[in-house]
Structure 1
Amino acid sequence: MENPSLLSLIVALLSFLSPCLTRMTPRVSFHMGSPGRHLTRFSSHDVSNTTTLLLSEDGDMLYVGARDAVLALDVSHKDAIILRNKLDWNPSEIDLEQCSMKGKEMADCPNFIRVLQFLNTTHIYACGTFAFSPRCTYIHSETLTMSLKPDEGRGRCPYDPYQRNTAIIVDGELYTGTVADYRGNRPVISRHLSEGRRVDLKLDDTLGWLEDPTFISSSFIPDEEKIYFFFSEVGREYDFIDKFIVSRVSQICMSDVGGQRTLQRRWTTFAKAQLLCQADNELPYNVIQDIDSLPPAEGAPADDTLFYGIFTSQWSVNSGRSAVCSFRLTDIKSVFSGNYKVLNRDTLQWSTRVQEKVANPGECGLHNASDNTLRFVKENFLADDSVRPVGRSVTVVSAEHSYSHLTVQRVQAANRRDYTVLFLLTESGYLHKAVLLQSGAHIIEEVQVFKQPQPIKSLKLSIPKGMIYVGTSEGVVRVPTANCSFYWTCPQCVLARDPFCGWDPVSRACVQASNTQASLSQDIDSGNVEEACNSVSFTHRARFAPNKLPAASCPAGELVSVSLNEVVRLQCPAASQLSQQLWERPNSRLSSDLYLHLEDGSLSFVATPATLGHYLCLSTENGYQQTIAIYHVKQKSSPMAHTPSSHTWPQTHPIPTTKAVARPGLHPSVGTWPKRTETRQEETEPTLSSRDTPRDRNVTMWAGESGQKEAELRDGEPLLSARGHCYLKELVVVSVLLVLCLSLLITMLLYVIRQRCRSRTAPQPGTSSRVSDRRTPVEHEALRGSQVLSKRNGQASGLVCNGALTGSNGHLPNTPI
C-alpha cells in the first residue's frame, strides 16, 4: 500500500542516519540550596506523593492531591508556602485487606488522588485510586470538606496509582482518558456528570478504537468546542513491526450525544491521527511523554494554537535522547478533514479507502445522521495522514538530558517581540529554562529541584504570579520563572538572553522586563553586548582603555604575597558554563613547563623570580571578552625581590574593541588589558567552568611546608621543572652516603662467605700426618714434582670451596687479608 508516512519510516529504518546534535549546555547551573536561586519548599512528615496539582484562578491557592489526603496550600506569600486546610481521605482497614487479598502490594493500596478539577466556583471534583477501587467525591474549595458521600469512580480514575490518566472538566462535565477495569485491559475515553438531555458517553469496547494506550494529557479548545486527547498506543497499521508504538491525538465534540440506533451512548465524533515527531533522515521519536498547549498570541486566530510535546524513541539508535516537537492546531484540523483508513475485519489489515466518503469522520453534529453514515464513521476513525511538526523538524533534541515533563509560556521582551520559553523537567531532578530562537534552543539556566529519583512528577505554571510548581513524592517546590537579580552587570544580563530580564541603565541593575519599561538593554536573539550595553558607563574601562594605558605600567590587581618555592593557585571562576577562560601576563608567555591550567579555570605554578608579577584572567563568551580577575604575585620574604613593576606592555597593536567590566569583589583597578594581535593557542588552554558559578574571588595559596602541596601536585609534573632552588649539593651528599652503605654491606657479606669457606677447608687434627704416612715413595716424589712445576709456571695452587675459587692461603682472590 502506498503510504507516505510508512514509506518515510521504511527509509529511516534502512538508513539509520543519526542527526548532528548540538550540545545542550545550560548557561548557569544552580544546585539545590544555592543562594543564587531562591526556591520555596513545602513538605511534611505525614504528606507524600504530592503529584496532582490544581491552581486557583488568582494563583493564590494551590490544591494538591496527595496520598490519602487533599491539601490547600496558601502560595500568596513570597517566602513561604502555608498549609491552610487538609482533608484526610484514606481507605478503611477492610478496604486495605481486600486490596492485599487481590495480590497487590500494601504500598500501592492507599488512596492516591489522581483527578482534581474545579467543578464550579465553590466545589472541586476529586477522584482517587482508593485501594484499587476508585472513588470520587465533591469537595468544598473553601472549607475543604466533602459535600457528598464518595461514589464509584470506575472509568473516571485509574485503579493503579502508577498508571497515567488525564481528566478535564468543561461546563460541569468530566472528560477522562483512563482504564475501566481492574486489570487495565479496557481503555476508555468517556464523559461523565452529564445532566438533562445530555447523556454520558464512552467508546465502543468492541471496535478496537484504542490499542493499549498510555494517556498523557487533554486540552479544550473553546472556539472549536472540541476536546483533544494525547496518548501513545500500539500502531496496528504498521503490521510489519511487532508492537510499534505511535503517538496519537484524538478528538471528540462536546455537542456529541451519541446515535439514535447505531452508536447509542457511544461517541459519533471520535477520530484519531498520528503525531509524527521526526526530522529528515532520522528515526521517529515515537513515544510521547508529556504535552502542553500554548494559546495563540493576542489577536491571532485559534488555529495558531501550538502544542509542545516531549518525545522519546523505542529505537536503540535514539536511546537516551529526548526531543521536543511542536504541532499547530491548523495542521491537526487539516489531517482530520482528510482521508481515513479502513480496517478489513476479515484480514485485520488497514488500507486507504479509495471510494467516495459517505461522511467526514470527526465532524460535529453526526448524532442525527443516518445509520449508514454512522456505520461509516464507526469503521473509519484513523486518519490516513500524520500530523507533522511545525517546520517539519524537531524543536529540541538532547542526548545529555532525559526530559519527562514540560510547560510552556509566551513572554514579551523589551523590544515588544514574543518569545517562547520552555520549562523542562529532567529525570535527574533539574528544571531547565530554555528560550526558542532562530538559531535553536538556548538553555538559560538549570535549577535542581530534587535529588532522589521520583516515580511520579507534575508541573504547574502560574503565569500571573510568575511561578512554577513542581510536585513530587517528597513535596512541592516553587520556582520563580525569572531570576534577574543574579546578573550583576549589563554584559551578564544581556548574555543570559532571558526574555524575562533586561538591564536598566538608570538603576544600573538587571530587572524583570515589563510593558512599562521600554528602555531596557536586551538582545535575546544574538546576545550582542557591544550594541546592547553601549549606553552603559564602564567606570574601569575609561581608566584602563587600550589607547590610554601607559606602556610601562599595569593595574595593581589583588596582591598575593608568597615565598619562593611555594605553590600558588590563582582562582578564576567562569562567568558561565558557556564561557572560556584564559590567563595572560605582560611580556611573558605562560609556558606549560611552568604553569598548570586546572579544570576549574584556576592557574597553578611554583613561585620563583621568573613567575612573580601580574596575572590577568579573561573570560570570553559569545564574542565578548571581560576581565574576571587580576593578581599581583609578590615575594613576601625578601623586600629586594624582583617585582613586576618594571614590566612593560607588549609593543603590539591593541584591539580597541576588547572591553572588560569589573565584578563585585575584585580590586577596583580591574579593567581591560591590551590584547596581542597575534595569539598563540599553545600558550594557554581555556577550560570550561564547573556547574557552579561562584561570585567570590578568593585566592587560595598552598604553603610549601604543608603536606597538602604534594597531594595537590600529583598530577602536576610540569611544575617540577620550574626554575627555582638548586638541589645539586643535596643530591651529591645522598649519592655518596648511598655508595658507602653499599660498600660496607658488600664487605660484610664477603667476610661471612670467607669464614664459611675457611671452616670447611681447614684440616682436622691428625689427618695430615696419617695421610702422609700412607703415601708411597712414588707419591711423595710425584707430589713434590707437581709443586715444583706449579711454581715454575708462576701459578699458585688452589682449592674449590662451594664452587668458589680460593687461593693457597684459603682466602678469596683479590681479597685483602
Structure 2
Amino acid sequence: MLSPTGALWLLLLSRLIGAWSHRSTKNVNLSPVQTIAGANLGLYFADQDQRDTAFFKVLAVERQSVLVGTRNAVLNISLSTMSVQKSLEWPPTADDVDMCQMKGKNEENCHNFIRLLFKQPKSRLIVCGTNAFQPACRQYRISSTGEYQIVKDIDGIAVVPFDPRQNTTAVYLSESDELYSATVADFSATLPLVFRKPLSGPTTALRTPRNDLKCLNDPQFVASFAEQNSVYFWFRETAAEYNNCGTAVFSRVARVCKSDQGDYRTDTDTWTSFLKARLNCSLPGDVPFYFNEIQSASEVVMSDQHGGPVSLVYAVFNTPSSALRASAVCAFNMDDVRSIFETGPFKAQRSSSSAWLPIYKSSLPEPRPGDCSANSKALADDVISFVRRHNLMYDAVPNYFDQPLIVDTNGEYQFTAIAVHSSVTTVGKQRYDVLFVGTDSGSVLKFVNVEGDRRVNTVLVETVGVFPSRSPVRSLKVVPASDGDKAQVSLLISTDSELKLMPVHHCANRTSCRTCVQLQDPYCAWDLINNRCVVISLPYVATIIFAITTFRHWQDGKFAQSVADGQSSLCLNVVSESSDFFMNELAPAFPLVDSPSIYTAECMTIAIIITLALASTVAFFVGYRFALWKLSFDAVPGFDSPLRKNVKGHNDRCEAYMPHLPVSKTVTNGSVNVSLPFTEPKGEKNVLTLNNGTLPRDYKTRKVYV
C-alpha cells in the first residue's frame, strides 16, 4: 500500500508525464558541437593589486575603448591592447572613510566603487559611486586636451547603492537630462525604489511609495532601458500575491511613463504610472515548470523572424538555489509587454486573506490608470488612488516562443549573464540571433535558434572556458568593429576582477568541410577554393553557395554553409573529405577539450521524473526495512541486545510492550530476582518464580535470558 507521500509523488509524476505527452517540445540538442579551453585566447586584463575588492563594472563601450568602474577610479581600457590608456581617480575623502568605519564597515569596503557613468552633451560626464557608503555623483567636463575637470557634485542617494554588492540599474535620457534608477535608498538596504532624478529643468523628482511591499518587495534589479514613451525595469522580487501560499520569488518587468509629473498635490513625490507584470518563463504543459528568478536581460534587439522584424528582449532565468539547479533562456516581445500595460486587466486582493482576482476595464476609473498619454497633474483622486493600490497586472508576459529557447540542468553551473548579436546574416542571406550566455563557473556558451517563426530548435555551437579561476561571469557585451566588419566583432566578458576580449567565432578550429558546416555557426563557412573554415565578411564574399541547392553568384569564391541542419552535399565532393584525410586532419587553431554533457528540455523533465521515482523507491525500501528490523527487535519481549548490560533496561522494554503484565523487581545482595505474576484460569493460582527452577512438567514456557 502506498504511503501518502508516495501517492503524492505518483500523482505529480503522472501529471508531469501527461503534460509532456500532451504537448512536448521539439528535441533541442544542447550538447556543444565544440568545447574550447579559452584561458589563453583573446586579450586579458586584471587588477592584480585589488583582485578581491576591484568590483569591476563595465560602464560604457566605445569604438576603441571600454570604460570600467572599479575601486576609486574609472579606467579607460584600450580594446586593441586591453591596457589602461587613462584613468579618472575619485577616492573618498578621509572624513567619508572615517564615517564609514564608524558605521561598522571595514576599511576594504570604505572606498568609492564607481557604478554608473553617462555621457551628456557638450563633452560632459555624470559619474556615480558608492563613496564609502555615502553615495555620490559628480559631473565632469572633458577639456580639449582630454583632461577631466570637475563641474559639480550631486547627491547620489537613490541613484547608486551604498554597497557595491547590491544590484542597481539606471537609464540616462539626454533629451530631458534625467536619470532613472532602480536601487536602494538607505544604509541597511531595506528601502528599494524606482527613482527619477532630474539633473536640470523643471521635471519633478518621483519615486515608488515608501514601505509598500505590494509595490516592491525585496527586489533584485538586473536591467533597464528606455523604449518609446516609457522606461522599463527588469527585476525579481518576493511575490506579494503568493503570500497566502508561502514564499516565492517571481520575475517582473515594471514600467513608468516619461511624461509622468506626479499628481496635483505639491507634497507628494510618487509615480502615477508605475505598473508591473510577471514574466512567464516556463516549460509548457498542464503542470508548467517555472524558472522564476531572472538573472540578466539583453537590450531590445530587432530579431528577424519569418513574419518580419520583432522587438525582443532575451533573459536568463534560474530556479531557486535550494531547489533543483536549472537555468533557462526565454524571449519576450515588447509588443506583448506594452499590450499588457495598456489594455490588460489589473490584479487585486479584497483583503489579506482573499484570493487575487482580475479587475477588468468595466470596473476601472477613467482615464485608464497608468496611461502614459494622460496628464498626471489633472488625474482625479480615484485614478491616483487606484494605480497606487493596484500596480500589479493580472496577465503575465508570455514567452515569445511558448517555451524556453534553452534549458540547462547541469548542476555544475547556472546562467548569470546574456548578450545577443541579433540578425547575423549568413552567406545565403538568412538571419539568426546569436546568444552568448555566461555562467557562474567562468564559461561562456554560444547558442543559435536555427528555426524561426516562433519555433524552437536551438543548437549549442560551442562552450568556451574563459576564466581558469572559474569566477562568475557578471556581464557580456557584443563589441562591433568600428568599420562594421562582421569578422571583427568581439565579445567582452567581465567578472568582479577580470576582463577578457575574445572573438565571437572560432571558425579556424574546424579543419574540414564537414566539421565546419556541422558547427551550424552563422559566422562560419567552408571556403571550397582555399579549403579552410573562414569567417564570412561581406566585402570578402564573392560567389556564394548555401546549403544544397541555393546558389548566389557574386564575383569569385565558393562557400558551403548550412546553419539550418549542419549538412551540405557540397562537402561530399571536397578532396579533403576523403577517408584518408579524415585520419590526418589539420591541427585545430584553438585548444579543444571534451564536451560536457548538457541536457535538453525534455531530458530535464525525464531527469526530474527519474529523480523523484528513485527517491521515493529508496525512501520506501529504507522505511520498509527499518520497520521490519524494528518489528523483529521489539516483537519478542524476551530478546535483548548484547550491548545492553543491565536487566533494568530489559525490564523497562518489557513494560513498554506488555502493559497488561505488572512487573515486580526485587534486588537482593546485588542479584536480581524478577517475579512475573501470571493470572491462570479461574481456580488455578500458580506463581512462577524464574530463579527457583521448579515448573510443572507440562508447562510450556519461553527461554528468558537475563
TM-score by length of structure 1 reads 0.61
User: Which runs of structure 2 are paired with 1:221-232 in the superposition (5 Å)?
Assistant: 221=227, 224-232=228-236
The Cα shift of 1:316 comes to 5.4
Please point out which of 511, 515, 521 is paired with 1:488.
511
Q: Percent identity?
A: 27
Q: 1:391 corresponds to which letter in structure 2?
A: F
2:102 and 2:211 mapped to 1: Cα distance? 31
1:599 aligned residue? none
User: Which runs of structure 2 are paired with 1:445-524 in the superposition (5 Å)?
Assistant: 445-454=462-471, 457-464=474-481, 466-516=489-539, 517=541, 519=544, 520-524=559-563
Cα contact 1:51–1:473 (8 A) shared by 2: yes
2:117 aligned residue? 116
Q: For residues 766-799 of structure 1, what are the alpha-carbon distances to aligned partners after superposition, in whole Å with 9 as ceiling and x for unaligned? A: xxxxxxxxxxxxxxxxxxxxxxxxxxxxxxxxxx
The Cα shift of 1:499 comes to 0.3
The Cα shift of 1:140 comes to 4.1
1:161 aligned residue? 164
Q: 1:81 corresponds to which letter in structure 2?
A: M
1:91 aligned residue? 92
The Cα shift of 1:248 comes to 0.4
Cα contact 2:492–2:501 (8 A) shared by 1: yes
User: Which runs of structure 2 are paired with 1:246-395 in the superposition (5 Å)?
Assistant: 246-261=250-265, 264-279=268-283, 280=285, 281-297=287-303, 304-314=310-320, 319-336=324-341, 337-344=343-350, 350-353=356-359, 355-358=362-365, 359-366=367-374, 367=376, 368-395=378-405
Alpha carbons of structure 1 residues 276 and 260: separation in structure 2 relative to 1, 3 Å: same
2:180 aligned residue? 175
Aligned partner of residue 296 in structure 2, secondary structure: strand
User: Which runs of structure 2 are paired with 1:560-579 in the superposition (5 Å)?
Assistant: none
Aligned partner of residue 147 in structure 1, secondary structure: strand
2:222 and 2:527 mapped to 1: Cα distance? 42
- 488-497 or 426-435, larger mean C-alpha shift: 488-497
The Cα shift of 1:292 comes to 0.6
Alpha carbons of structure 1 residues 291 and 137: separation in structure 2 relative to 1, 3 Å: same
Alpha carbons of structure 1 residues 86 and 349: separation in structure 2 relative to 1, 3 Å: same
Q: Does 1:533 align with 2:580?
A: no
Q: 1:244 corresponds to which letter in structure 2?
A: A
Please point out which of 240, 244, 248 is paired with 1:244.
248
User: Which runs of structure 2 are paired with 1:717-732 in the superposition (5 Å)?
Assistant: none
Q: Does 1:427 align with 2:440?
A: yes
Cα contact 2:29–2:460 (8 A) shared by 1: no
2:222 aligned residue? 216
Cα contact 2:279–2:398 (8 A) shared by 1: yes
The Cα shift of 1:90 comes to 1.7
Q: 1:523 corresponds to which letter in structure 2?
A: S
Gaps of 5+ in 2: 1-10, 482-487, 545-558, 597-706
Q: Does 1:67 align with 2:90?
A: no
Alpha carbons of structure 1 residues 25 and 107: separation in structure 2 relative to 1, 3 Å: farther
Q: 1:331 corresponds to which letter in structure 2?
A: D
The Cα shift of 1:107 comes to 2.4
Q: Which has the larger radius of gyration?
A: 1
Aligned partner of residue 302 in structure 2, secondary structure: coil
Q: Does 1:397 align with 2:407?
A: yes
Alpha carbons of structure 1 residues 370 and 128: separation in structure 2 relative to 1, 3 Å: same
2:355 and 2:92 mapped to 1: Cα distance? 46
User: Which runs of structure 2 are paired with 1:545-694 in the superposition (5 Å)?
Assistant: 628-629=582-583, 662-664=584-586, 690-691=594-595
Aligned partner of residue 202 in structure 2, secondary structure: coil
1:159 and 1:274 mapped to 2: Cα distance? 28
Please point out which of 204, 218, 235 is paired with 2:209.
204
Alpha carbons of structure 1 residues 92 and 311: separation in structure 2 relative to 1, 3 Å: same
The Cα shift of 1:211 comes to 1.1
CA RMSD, Structure 1 to Structure 2 (Å): 3.1
1:146 and 1:113 mapped to 2: Cα distance? 17
Q: For residues 729-764 of structure 1, what are the alpha-carbon distances to aligned partners after superposition, in whole Å with 9 as ceiling and x for unaligned? A: xxxxxxxxxxxxxxxxxxxxxxxxxxxxxxxxxxxx
- 463-472 or 168-177, larger mean C-alpha shift: 463-472
Q: 2:575 corresponds to which letter in structure 1?
A: F
2:563 and 2:139 mapped to 1: Cα distance? 47
The structure whose RCO (Cα within 8 Å, separation 6+) is larger is 2
Gaps of 5+ in 1: 1-10, 545-554, 556-626, 630-661, 667-687, 693-817
Q: 2:384 corresponds to which letter in structure 1?
A: L
1:352 and 1:321 mapped to 2: Cα distance? 31
How many residue pairs get aligned? The number is 534
Aligned partner of residue 148 in structure 2, secondary structure: coil
Q: 1:533 corresponds to which letter in structure 2?
A: C
1:665 and 1:278 mapped to 2: Cα distance? 42
Q: 1:373 corresponds to which letter in structure 2?
A: V
The Cα shift of 1:271 comes to 0.5
Alpha carbons of structure 1 residues 308 and 85: separation in structure 2 relative to 1, 3 Å: same
2:150 and 2:160 mapped to 1: Cα distance? 19
Q: For residues 59-95 of structure 1, what are the alpha-carbon distances to aligned partners after superposition, in whole Å with 9 as ceiling and x for unaligned? A: 21211101111111121x2xx2231111222223432
Cα contact 1:262–1:371 (8 A) shared by 2: no
Alpha carbons of structure 1 residues 346 and 501: separation in structure 2 relative to 1, 3 Å: closer
Alpha carbons of structure 1 residues 108 and 303: separation in structure 2 relative to 1, 3 Å: farther
1:408 aligned residue? 420
Aligned partner of residue 261 in structure 1, secondary structure: coil
Alpha carbons of structure 1 residues 472 and 539: separation in structure 2 relative to 1, 3 Å: closer
Aligned partner of residue 238 in structure 1, secondary structure: helix
Alpha carbons of structure 1 residues 348 and 121: separation in structure 2 relative to 1, 3 Å: farther
Cα contact 1:295–1:302 (8 A) shared by 2: no
Q: Does 1:443 align with 2:449?
A: no
TM-score by length of structure 2 reads 0.70
Q: For residues 614-664 of structure 1, what are the alpha-carbon distances to aligned partners after superposition, in whole Å with 9 as ceiling and x for unaligned? A: xxxxxxxxxxxxx643xxxxxxxxxxxxxxxxxxxxxxxxxxxxxxxx523
Q: For residues 351-375 of structure 1, what are the alpha-carbon distances to aligned partners after superposition, in whole Å with 9 as ceiling and x for unaligned? A: 3235521142331033132233222
Q: For residues 8-63 of structure 1, what are the alpha-carbon distances to aligned partners after superposition, in whole Å with 9 as ceiling and x for unaligned? A: xxx989956697996632222222445xxx31012243455352113345x21211
Cα contact 2:73–2:90 (8 A) shared by 1: yes
User: Which runs of structure 2 are paired with 1:72-151 in the superposition (5 Å)?
Assistant: 72-75=76-79, 77=80, 80-120=81-121, 122-140=123-141, 143=146, 145-151=148-154
Q: For residues 665-684 of structure 1, what are the alpha-carbon distances to aligned partners after superposition, in whole Å with 9 as ceiling and x for unaligned? A: 79xxxxxxxxxxxxxxxxxx
Alpha carbons of structure 1 residues 456 and 113: separation in structure 2 relative to 1, 3 Å: farther
1:244 and 1:13 mapped to 2: Cα distance? 22
2:231 and 2:306 mapped to 1: Cα distance? 20
The Cα shift of 1:308 comes to 0.8
The Cα shift of 1:418 comes to 1.0
Cα contact 2:512–2:533 (8 A) shared by 1: yes
